[in-house]
Amino acid sequence: MDKLLIQGGFPLSGEVSISGAKNAALPILCASLLSAEALHITNLPHLNDVATMLRLIGQMGVEVTMDGNSGLILDSRGVNSPTASYDMVKTMRASILVLGPLLARCGEAKVSLPGGCAIGARPVDQHIKGLQAMGAEIRVENGYILAKASRLKGARIVTDMVTVTGTENLMMAAVLAEGETVIENAACEPEVVDLANCLISMGARISGAGTGSIRVQGVERLHGATHAVMPDRIETGTYLCAAAVTRGNIRLLNTSVGYLDSVVQKLREAGCDVAAEQGAITLKAPQRLKAVSIRTEPYPAFPTDMQAQFMAINCVAEGSAVIRETIFENRFMHAVELIRLGADIKIDANNALVTGVPHLDGATVMATDLRASASLVIAGLVAQGETLIERIYHLDRGYERIEEKLTRLGANVRRVR
Ligand code: EPZ
């Protein structure tokens, strides 16, 4: 298994380009199942999760061809096997996003229940309830969701909580349903809007994406389209945190602050000078960050996917900060690893009290999930001495060429087998 070896203490400087958003690319790949005409997707990030999703829809009969640039052309004319097997779904929970499109396009689907994952139980009851409200007959047997619907019917759905992929699954199911669907308590994340924009370019009739109430008028069929995946706001925030904690001065290209106001605001509170120019963001870090408390909430509030990274920078900031995780029940697993590096963190249920220490000391640590591994990288960049991060396959799921981009910014990092 690969490991990442980091020699800490090098300020990040220079510029790197941000890749397409993983959490927009995954539902958009599934949207290709909705139309018999080709969907051309550009600005796709080269990530393990994207490769897994391509394998999954390929198994269903979607033809995938390169466009010679960095995009793909997906032709789902030959979709003939509406099944997502356990061995595929267990490696990536986002596989559940094929459920809505398969039901809408094929009238049936057999999708393995995603197991839990490191950060929580992560049930999919809201996906199932919403599809049942649209007339789908759904049974759960032997770990599989068995769904049938001759044609889904529009319905008014109110999800019990804000769910990103739940909103995305229901929106994709609704675009070919008969009549109007309204999704209340919908997720407002920018990735939901990017998916909606892609569906609209395919001929779907959607309004209200980005608000808590999404309205979809079903149509008979969708046509082909070309869509560029939005920039990855979490990758952007991760590099901003890495520069902030290493007294860095960086410029991130092909991205925008527009999707990260809550994170940029907290970085400014911590003492960073963050500026936005068209299509780029610059950050100049202070000599030492001030500790800043955060509370994760659905968009546009502080994103849970940036919580671990912010915990890492609070470890060496001046003062104490409280980090409250309100979305997932077990998303503090990076804390014990940060403590191995010398951090002072006290966990109480879904609160973490972080007291800044003068410095961290390099050690061997273990990644447990995608964003936890990002927080360990950030800590390693600022720790004195060497940090060795194990199980970095977690990192490869969501960060494209991370050691290459960090090296370009002046970090001393290399991948060891
Ligand atoms: C998406 O996961 C993202 N993944 C996650 O990013 C992100 O952390 C999360 O949204 C929250 O923003 C993708 O978009 C592929 P939820 P998702 O449904 O949709 C509960 C990363 O690091 N819930 O919004 O699975 C759930 O348990 C990943 O890139 C139900 O109870 O998250 C959680 O407590 C990690 N029943 C809360 O809602 C359901 O049917 C929010 O989950 C659905 C969700």
pLDDT at 277 over 90: no
Q: How far apart are the CA of 292 and the centre of ligand 1, in A?
A: 25
Using a 6 Å cutoff on CB, does residue 124 contact ligand 1? Answer: yes
Q: What is the pLDDT of residues 159-200, one digit of tens each?
A: 999 999 999 999 999 999 999 999 999 999 999 999 999 999
What's the CA-to-centroid distance between 298 and ligand 1, angstroms? Answer: 10
The answer to whether the CB of 241 is under 6 A from ligand 1 is no
Q: How confident is the model at residue 21 (pLDDT cuts 50, 70, 90)?
A: very high
What pLDDT digit, counting tens, does each position of 37-68 carry?
Answer: 999 999 999 999 999 999 999 999 999 999 98
Question: Using a 6 Å cutoff on CB, does residue 325 contact ligand 1?
Answer: no
Mean pLDDT of the region 137-164: 96
> Inter-axis angle of helices 22-31 and 233-245, to 10 degrees?
170
% of the chain with per-residue pLDDT over 90: 93
Q: Can you give the three-state secondary structure of 106-154, one letter per residue?
A: HCEEEEECCCCECCECCCCHHHHHHHHHCCCEEEEECCEEEEECCCCEC
Q: Whose CA is nearest to atom 18 of ligand 1?
A: 163
**Which active-site residues does the annotation give?**
117
CA of 84 to the centre of ligand 1 (A): 19
User: 264 with 257: CB under 8 angstroms?
Assistant: yes
206 Cα distance to chain centroid: 23
Q: Taking the alpha carbons of 396, 397, 398, 400 in that order, is the dihedral positive or negative?
A: positive
Query: The tokens of 216 are what?
Result: 């979809």
% residues pLDDT > 70 (the chain)? 100
Q: 87-96, 122-131, 177-186, 319-328: which range is least confident on average?
A: 87-96
Burial class (CB in 10 A: 0-12, 13-18, 19+), 287: exposed
Over the stretch 335-384, which tens digit does the pLDDT of each residue have? 999 999 999 999 999 999 999 999 999 999 999 999 999 999 999 999 99
pTM for this prediction: 0.98
For residue 283, give the H/E element and its range.
strand 280-284
Residue 121 class from Cβ within 10 Å (0-12 exposed, 13-18 middle, 19+ buried)? exposed
Query: What mean pLDDT is predicted for residues 386-390?
Result: 98
pLDDT at 115 over 80: no
Atom of ligand 1 minimally distant from the CA of 370: 22
Ligand 1 in reach of 371 Cβ (< 6 A): yes
Q: Is 260 in the pocket of ligand 1 (CB under 6 A)?
A: no
Atom of ligand 1 nearest to the CA of 129: 40
What are the tens digits of pLDDT across the range 344-357?
999 999 999 999 99
Please tell me the distance between residue 331's alpha carbon and the centre of ligand 1 in angstroms: 12
pLDDT bracket for residue 118 (50, 70, 90): confident
Angle at 14 between CA 8 and CA 18, to 5 degrees: 95
What is the Å distance from ligand 1's center to 359 Cα? 34
Q: CA torsion sign, 269 to 275 to 276 to 281? A: negative
Cβ of 125 below 6 Å from ligand 1: yes
Q: Which residue from 19, 23, 56, 329 has its CB within 8 A of the most atoms of ligand 1, so it is best to mutate? A: 23
- How far the first Cα of the chain sits from its last, in Å, is 6
Is the pLDDT assigned to residue 88 strictly greater than 90? Answer: no
